[in-house]
Structure 1
Amino acid sequence: MRKSTILYLVLLLCTFGGSSCVSLAWSSEFEPGIQVGTIQSPLIREASGIAASRKNADVLWVHNDSGDAPRVYAIDTQGKLLGVCTVVGALARDWEDIAVGPGPDPNQQYLYIGDVGDNLAAYPSVRVYRVPEPDADATRPFNEMSVGPAETIELTYPDGPRDAETLLVDPLTQDIYIITKRDWLACKVYRAAAPHSTIRARVLEKVAILPWGLAVAGDVSPDGRRIIVRGPYNASLWVRPEGEPLWKAFEGKHVGIPLIGEPQGEGICFDGKGLGYFTLSEKANPPLYYFAPSVPKPD
């Protein structure tokens, strides 16, 4: 086990209930996870981001980490590949997360793709690509299609380059959030307030700090009320205060939510209705897990 992993697990123990550390409450909103499928397609070899469609029932969008072409993959909720979608006008430097949310056309949903990875903290800016969400049918594989040209939202950090793997889009305001990864004790949360320029780079605003480090993915429920963020071995849920900006949730209490051990856990997203959530790992043929909403038990 690498030293960095050991350090992370020690810090995780402190955050999630070590006897000498502050204990964390656990959510009762979700059932234990079950494996609902396996991604068998050799095209999806290093799944890094996952998001549930807001317009196509039972369709999930995933993408690979660095090294792939600029494309996303539609899968069903059992992990079966439905088709490949090329994102015209985008570059794939180090795609790390994907989100679905509103955009310029109020009658359209959009894919937001976070090209925000920067292992060496060397890039002067990062990019979020935005395209209208394509049509896809979970019962009809479509082979190949394209979408775009993509709008490029270029962003810079106010305090120098950062490595990040978590992209959030607020469905109520269209604000974009990026959460850093390589902050061991407390990941930083940055916001780009809407509307978004596609002409010139904008400086992100640091708005919050997570109570733990190494965030690798996250999502916002379709109603904008709940936020989930995961690390490789842990995940937390926050609830947005009524009438407040999304980042205010991170100033409140968080609760732990269940995960299942994965080879390299990298993805998490709410389902299309915001009731349960899916998780996904990198590595070949990863299992797709689903954590359903808890069923009230009779008295």
Structure 2
Amino acid sequence: MTRTGGVAGRARWTVAVTVLTVALWPGTAVAGRSSPDPVPVCQIRDPRLTEISGMVATDAGFVVVNDSADEASRRRIFFLDGDCAVVRTVPYPSRPRDTEDLAVGVDGTLWVADIGDNDRSRDTVALWKLAPGAGRPVLHRMAYPDGPHDAEALLLDGAGRPVVVTKQGGAAGLYTPTAPLRPGTTTPLARVGQVRLPATTTANPFAFVGRRLVTGGATAPDGRRVVLRTYADAFEFDVPDGDVVAALTGGTPRVVPLPDEPQGESVAYRRDGRALFTVSETADQPPGSRPTILRYALPAPAPAASGTRAPAGTAGPTGGDPTPSAVPAAGTPGGSGGVRSLLLGVGVIVAGLLVVSLTGAGRARRTGR
């Protein structure tokens, strides 16, 4: 998510179109599976980490990145221990534009997705590749075939190929590189499909818009599942043969509600694949708010099948959380009820457009970036 100084008509128009698209997109609302409240793992107290947009779990803790930041101290890859304390940072060799997600390869390589583009104005997007033990990430540029897109989710398929998932109302686009990524060149992307997430009724700060915009993704350590999240829910797809695109375009996800997270943009699998971690941005929350990593239980995974990838090397699997510290429990009420009727949807559209027109930048920036 990118913050911009002056928000003009285009930002308001983007949100208005998103409201219309999301509200009128066909689909039946589902409540999501019943699940226990999330378990707080640890609080992040470093003042540089208030806009966390991407996260992965490791044996020792977590790795996180902020989205675009004006302060140079925030534009780094942050390594955390099990208590959420920063133990190492890695700077970029040049300024990233808008880092939005993280993924980890089978060999422990970190992929930082520099793919945010709220204004739809970038000629290229990028992935930063940080090999195990490297002191600096390497930049790989990519270009969409059909104009700029905003995106906040990155997945890896069974062959280690990146899959970018766009952030838009209705159906999210799926894009993959047409050739191996190489530093110093721009690799064309190809649109390989789209994913329609089922509508839900889960409570979140952005109402029905927040239930349809993809804000993050993660690939399970064994490669047999992937998850996409919105501001309201996580959607887990089975990937039995490593083909992530086929799973997203043809599979039916399991829904895990993530109710009332303040601004949820990150999701990661625990190293044993049996739980999800999430964390919210806190930049616009009340003073003193700190990002808290939450754990959501998942059903036990199915037995491993042949042809699936092994767990990542340097970030290998563990049986549980990385040395969690005691964190005060935070209330997370369940989803709100009821399937929207057509009249209610139209009424909300009109109200939403009026709010966007009158208030301008405020929430439009936060939900549309």
TM-score category of the 2 structures, normalised to the smaller one: 0.7 to 0.9
User: Is the radius of gyration larger for structure 1 or structure 2?
Assistant: 2
Matched, 1:91 2:95: yes
* Residue of structure 1 equivalent to 2:150: 163
**Identical counterparts, % of pairs:** 30
Contact 1:97 / 1:114 at 8 angstroms: preserved in 2? yes
Which amino acid in 1 is paired with 2:164? I
How high is the TM-score relative to the length of structure 1? 0.79
SS at match of 2:128: strand
Contact 1:173 / 1:194 at 8 angstroms: preserved in 2? no
Classify 1:38/1:8 alpha carbon distance in 2 versus 1 (closer, same or farther; 3 Å): farther
When structure 1 is superposed on structure 2, of 230-239 and 147-156 the one drifting more is 147-156
SS at match of 2:245: helix
- Structure having the higher strand fraction is 1
Q: Deviations over 1:171-223 (max 9, x none)?
A: x3110011111x21111111126632223111111112121441110000011
Correspondence for 2:52 among 47, 53, 62: 47
* Residue of structure 2 equivalent to 1:173: 159
Bigger relative CO (Cα 8 Å, ≥ 6 apart): 2
Which amino acid in 2 is paired with 1:262? E
* Residue of structure 2 equivalent to 1:143: none
Classify 1:8/1:269 alpha carbon distance in 2 versus 1 (closer, same or farther; 3 Å): farther
* Residue of structure 1 equivalent to 2:235: 236
Alpha-carbon distance between aligned partners in 2 of 1:6 and 1:287, rounded to the nearest angstrom: 32
Alpha-carbon distance between aligned partners in 1 of 2:224 and 2:300, rounded to the nearest angstrom: 20
Shift of 1:35: 1.6
Which amino acid in 1 is paired with 2:28? V
Q: Deviations over 1:80-105 (max 9, x none)?
A: 21323123424221111111113xxx
Matched, 1:254 2:253: yes
* Residue of structure 2 equivalent to 1:65: 67
Contact 1:33 / 1:260 at 8 angstroms: preserved in 2? no
Classify 1:244/1:63 alpha carbon distance in 2 versus 1 (closer, same or farther; 3 Å): closer
RMSD (Å), alpha carbons? 2.9
| Shift >3 Å, 4+ stretches | 2-15, 23-28, 293-296
Q: Deviations over 1:98-120 (max 9, x none)?
A: 11113xxxxx4111001111111
Alpha-carbon distance between aligned partners in 1 of 2:300 and 2:155, rounded to the nearest angstrom: 28
Alpha-carbon distance between aligned partners in 1 of 2:300 and 2:116, rounded to the nearest angstrom: 38
* Residue of structure 1 equivalent to 2:173: 188
Alpha-carbon distance between aligned partners in 2 of 1:81 and 1:8, rounded to the nearest angstrom: 38
How high is the TM-score relative to the length of structure 2? 0.65
SS at match of 2:86: strand
Contact 2:274 / 2:299 at 8 angstroms: preserved in 1? no
Structure 1 residues not aligned, in runs of 5+: 16-20, 103-107, 135-146
Classify 1:77/1:189 alpha carbon distance in 2 versus 1 (closer, same or farther; 3 Å): farther
Alpha-carbon distance between aligned partners in 2 of 1:286 and 1:88, rounded to the nearest angstrom: 23
* Residue of structure 2 equivalent to 1:206: 191
SS at match of 1:185: coil
Classify 1:207/1:132 alpha carbon distance in 2 versus 1 (closer, same or farther; 3 Å): same
Shift of 1:63: 1.1
When structure 1 is superposed on structure 2, of 226-235 and 30-39 the one drifting more is 30-39
Contact 1:189 / 1:208 at 8 angstroms: preserved in 2? yes
Structure 2 residues not aligned, in runs of 5+: 1-11, 198-211, 284-289, 302-369
Which amino acid in 2 is paired with 1:223? D
Which amino acid in 1 is paired with 2:160? Q
Alpha-carbon distance between aligned partners in 1 of 2:37 and 2:173, rounded to the nearest angstrom: 29
Shift of 1:72: 1.3
Contact 2:55 / 2:102 at 8 angstroms: preserved in 1? yes
- Structure having the higher helix fraction is 2
Q: Deviations over 1:35-93 (max 9, x none)?
A: 2222111121211111112xxx1411011111143411122344x21323123424221
Which amino acid in 2 is paired with 1:162? H
What does residue range 220-235 of structure 1 map to in structure 2 within 5 Å?
Answer: 220-235=219-234
